[in-house]
């Protein structure tokens, strides 16, 4: 693996000594210094009073650590043009995993030259190094590279390149570095031949760990700034573009390039991100998802073009990157031909959902999906378009022609839930209302015989006289589920009721007649 590291400093054009200041434990310390201040012997962590005694003309400003961190994060995101694996490195650097990416720029030297040119254009001082490990790149960038002189040792020359550097190049804290210097261990090379257990006993485990990470004896993975895409394509422009028509054509070109790759792999895109890298270092994004896997270039490009009005091109876009963050298998299918003879995706509701989702977000679009449960309010749920099906409530369910069945612990019987084709082993359920109330609404009833339906009920301050009734249908709690209630009030007796005006209701009594506590009545739904 090859890693690139760099540090941020002042603008190359700034010649006057300058430093930012922070307050720590009642003392004012230098937080960062520019090149001119460093050339006069100043360094971060130095007390401000001492710095002013060395350099009375030093210009200072309070440090804004939150703004610095946000700016560093934006810079790491901007470096995504070179690799999707980027992240801030401490408070003054950016680390980039460029394995498999350097050849796209013509090699590592060409990539460094392009990166340096763009940073200079943004007046960002920098030092760049490329090495086989993050620790090696960190040390070379801060102690071997210089402005305009990147460190790019050959793969077989990295350890010799690190050896003459001070022990601080191993990312050690100041106290540990001072302890090593006190016993004469001033250079990284002085540690190469020392046994690791001796280093750990004398200086703690940090020294041995950082040394092994730098020389690739211990793996140190890079955690990217955000989710890494599974596929991406990039389009660079000789001159920055800003016209919406040009951006639309570029989106179409990227969609075609991406779809060609997806087609070869038999995959379809579900979540995509189109990034617009501006000349000022800012990155604009259009993120969207699809209701089903898609590799129709016209459809995907149309979704992005519809949202171009939300993109601020600034002084121009110099790179556009289309990335796929979620893809699913999409086998070939026969597509109808349009009037112009081009094939498109099969007709269906998915393209419409995608267009609406591009405006409102796919999480705002969904459907009612069924779930194997005989408790009415659990038998269905709202399934967002961009989510996977919700798991079953039943343990280890198996599909059968009669519905869903599952084994009982002490019997060979199978309990069926009527969600499939009806049969003798799983009869049809009684009619269910087209509308359910969530939660069920309490009502007051007049009833006499325990298992008979009520003679009258009052709902929303209006009395209803019962003319016809059917029931009861007893629905008990699903006792086999974790946390299920076995209390008497969990038993429900449902009745289908028709009042004097012909309206039909679905009522239930929670609890048993004559029980303690007394049963309560609820209205759960309305029939059409």
Lowest mean pLDDT among 125-129, 190-194, 223-227: 223-227
| Dmax (CA) of the chain | 101
pLDDT digits (tens, 9 = 90+) for 372-417: 788 888 887 777 765 544 444 444 333 322 222 222 222 222 222 2
pLDDT digits (tens, 9 = 90+) for 281-321: 899 999 998 888 999 999 999 999 999 999 999 999 999 99
Residue 459 has pLDDT above 80, yes or no: yes
Contact 273/304 with Cβ under 8 angstroms? Answer: no
Domain 231-333+343-360 has CATH 3.40.50.740: no
Residue 446 has pLDDT above 80, yes or no: yes
Q: What is the pLDDT of residue 104?
A: 84
What is the mean predicted confidence (pLDDT) over 317-331?
93
Rounded alpha-carbon distances, angstroms, from residue 206 to 131, 160, 169, 171, 180 = 21, 22, 13, 9, 12
Contact 196/212 with Cβ under 8 angstroms? Answer: yes
Q: What is the pLDDT of residue 40?
A: 85
Lowest mean pLDDT among 331-340, 369-378, 469-478: 331-340
Ramachandran angles phi, psi of 527, nearest 5°: -85, 155
Q: What is the pLDDT of residue 255?
A: 95
Q: Which residues pair with 462 in a beta bridge?
A: 459
pLDDT digits (tens, 9 = 90+) for 241-277: 999 999 999 999 999 999 999 999 999 999 999 999 9
Q: Where are the beta strands (DSSP E) in 355-402?
A: 366-370, 380-384, 398-400
User: For the domain bounded by 3-162, which CATH number is listed?
Assistant: 3.30.70
Q: What is the pLDDT of residue 486?
A: 64
Contact 155/132 with Cβ under 8 angstroms? Answer: yes
- In this predicted model, which residue has the larger pLDDT, 289 or 354? 289
pLDDT digits (tens, 9 = 90+) for 193-207: 889 888 888 898 999
333 band by pLDDT with thresholds 50, 70 and 90 = low
Residue 140 has pLDDT above 50, yes or no: yes
pLDDT digits (tens, 9 = 90+) for 148-175: 889 999 988 999 999 999 999 999 998 8
What is the mean predicted confidence (pLDDT) over 469-479?
86
Q: What is the pLDDT of residue 498?
A: 94
pLDDT digits (tens, 9 = 90+) for 17-61: 999 999 988 889 998 888 888 888 888 889 999 999 889 889 999
CATH 3.30.70 domain span(s) along the chain: 3-162
State the angle between helix axes of 205-214 and 196-203 in degrees (0 to 180), rounded to the nearest 10. Answer: 140
Residue 10 has pLDDT above 50, yes or no: no
Residue in this structure with the two tokens 């989106």, named with its chain if needed: 251
- In this predicted model, which residue has the larger pLDDT, 174 or 528? 174
Q: What is the pLDDT of residue 133?
A: 93
Contact 404/397 with Cβ under 8 angstroms? Answer: yes
Q: DSSP H helical segments within 122-270, as ranges? A: 134-143, 158-162, 174-182, 196-203, 205-214, 244-265
Contact 524/440 with Cβ under 8 angstroms? Answer: yes
103 band by pLDDT with thresholds 50, 70 and 90 = confident
Q: Which residues pair with 527 in a beta bridge?
A: none
Contact 32/92 with Cβ under 8 angstroms? Answer: yes
Q: What percent of the chain has pLDDT over 70?
A: 84
447 band by pLDDT with thresholds 50, 70 and 90 = confident
């Amino acid at each position: 693996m090859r890693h690139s590291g760099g540090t941020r400093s002042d603008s190359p054009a700034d010649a006057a000594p300058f430093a930012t200041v922070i307050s720590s434990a009642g003392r004012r310390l230098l937080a960062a210094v520019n090149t001119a201040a460093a050339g006069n012997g100043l360094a971060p962590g130095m007390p401000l009073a001492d710095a002013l005694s060395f350099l009375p003309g030093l210009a200072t400003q309070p440090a804004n650590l939150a703004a610095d961190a946000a700016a560093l994060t934006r810079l790491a995101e901007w470096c995504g043009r070179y690799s999707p694996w980027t992240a801030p490195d401490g408070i003054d650097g950016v680390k980039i995993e460029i394995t498999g990416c350097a050849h796209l720029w013509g090699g590592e030297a060409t990539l460094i030259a392009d990166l340096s040119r763009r940073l200079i254009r943004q007046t960002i001082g920098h030092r760049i190094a490329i090495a086989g490990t993050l620790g090696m790149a960190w040390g070379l960038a801060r102690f071997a590279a210089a402005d305009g002189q990147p460190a790019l040792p050959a793969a077989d020359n990295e350890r010799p390149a690190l050896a003459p550097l001070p022990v601080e190049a191993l990312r050690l804290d100041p106290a540990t570095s001072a302890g090593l210097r006190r016993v004469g261990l001033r250079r990284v090379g002085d540690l190469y031949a020392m046994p690791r257990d001796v280093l750990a006993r004398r200086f703690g485990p940090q020294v041995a760990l950082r040394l092994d990470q730098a020389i690739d004896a211990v793996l140190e993975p890079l955690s990217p700034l955000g989710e890494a895409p599974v596929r991406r394509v990039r389009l660079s422009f000789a001159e920055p573009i800003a016209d919406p028509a040009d951006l639309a054509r570029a989106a179409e070109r990227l969609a075609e390039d991406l779809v060609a790759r997806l087609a070869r792999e038999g995959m379809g895109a579900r979540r995509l991100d189109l990034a617009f890298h501006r000349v000022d270092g800012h990155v604009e994004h259009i993120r969207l998802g699809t209701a089903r896997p898609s590799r129709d270039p016209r459809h995907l490009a149309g979704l992005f073009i519809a949202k171009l009005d939300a993109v601020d091109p600034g002084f121009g876009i110099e790179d556009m990157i289309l990335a796929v963050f979620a893809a699913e298998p999409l086998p070939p299918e026969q597509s109808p031909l349009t009037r112009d003879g081009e094939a498109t995706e099969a007709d269906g509701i998915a393209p419409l959902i995608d267009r609406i989702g591009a405006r409102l977000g796919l999480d705002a679009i969904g459907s009612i999906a069924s779930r194997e449960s005989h408790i009415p309010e659990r038998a269905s749920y709202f399934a967002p378009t961009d989510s996977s099906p919700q798991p079953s409530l039943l343990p280890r369910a198996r599909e059968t022609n009669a519905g869903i069945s599952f084994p009982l612990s002490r019997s060979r019987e199978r309990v069926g839930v009527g969600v499939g084709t009806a049969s003798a082993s799983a009869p049809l359920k009684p009619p269910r209302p087209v509308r359910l109330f969530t939660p069920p609404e309490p009502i007051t009833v007049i009833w006499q015989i325990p298992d008979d339906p009520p003679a009258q009920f009052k709902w929303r301050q209006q009395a209803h006289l019962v003319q016809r009734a059917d029931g009861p249908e007893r629905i008990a709690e699903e006792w086999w589920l974790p946390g299920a209630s076995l209390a008497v009030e969990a038993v429900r007796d449902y009745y289908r009721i028709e009042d004097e005006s012909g309206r039909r209701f679905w009522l239930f009594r929670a609890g048993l007649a004559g029980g303690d506590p007394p049963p309560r009545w609820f209205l759960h739904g309305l029939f059409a």
